[in-house]
Each structure stands twice: as C-alpha cells, then as structure tokens.
Amino acid sequence: MKLRAYIDRESRRIEAEETRQFQHLAAAEEYRDITEKWLGAGARWREIGSTLTVWEYKGDRFFQWFSGVDALEHVEAARKADEALSALIKEAA
C-alpha cells in the first residue's frame, strides 16, 4: 500500500513538473513573438546594468523587466506592454 501511494505521488509530481515546463516554454515562445513584433514596429531595447532591460519606442519607455523574473509573469507583463506600444504607435501616427 505504501509503495502504491509513493508511485501515485511521484507520478503526480512528474506530471506537474512537465506541465510547468510546457507552460514556461510556451511563455518564452510567446515573448519571442511579441518582441519580434516590437522590433518590426521600430521599438528598441537596451540593458541598464546587468539586471534591467528596457524597451522604448521613439524615446518612450513602454516596458522594462529584471532578470530572474518568472516566465509566466514576464509574458503577462509583455502582453500589457504590447497594448502600451500599440497606443504609442497610434499617437505617433
């Protein structure tokens, strides 16, 4: 009985880890797509120090992030920044 419980617990742990890895990979791919769109629109990024990266469009900062941030939180913030960039582009037009 203890062995069965152990096997079940480990199976759930492994499945949860695989799900987490898939979610982080999907978030990283989405972030790549978002930033490629930003670059195509004329936005630029630059590092400030060793931990901060900022994105700017025509001198206006619309996104910043610190290294070490969780990928899921990072892509959520990038989605909001994508909306902010769209607004900046409309204002510039």
Between 3 and 82, residue with greater pLDDT: 82
Q: Dump the DSSP string for 23-83.
A: HHHHHHHHHHHHHHHHHHTT-EEEEETTTEEEEEETTEEEEEEETT--HHHHHHHHHHHHH
Residue 93 is predicted with a pLDDT of 79
What is the phi/psi pair of residue 43, to 5°? -75, 155
Count of residues in the chain: 93
Domain segments of the chain: what residues? Answer: 2-92
How much is the average pLDDT of 12-39?
96
Burial of 49 (0-12, 13-18, 19+ CB in 10 A): exposed
**Segment 11-23, tens digit of pLDDT:** 999 999 999 999 9
Between 14 and 92, residue with greater pLDDT: 14
Confidence grade of residue 52 (pLDDT, cut at 50, 70, 90): very high
Residue 42 is predicted with a pLDDT of 96
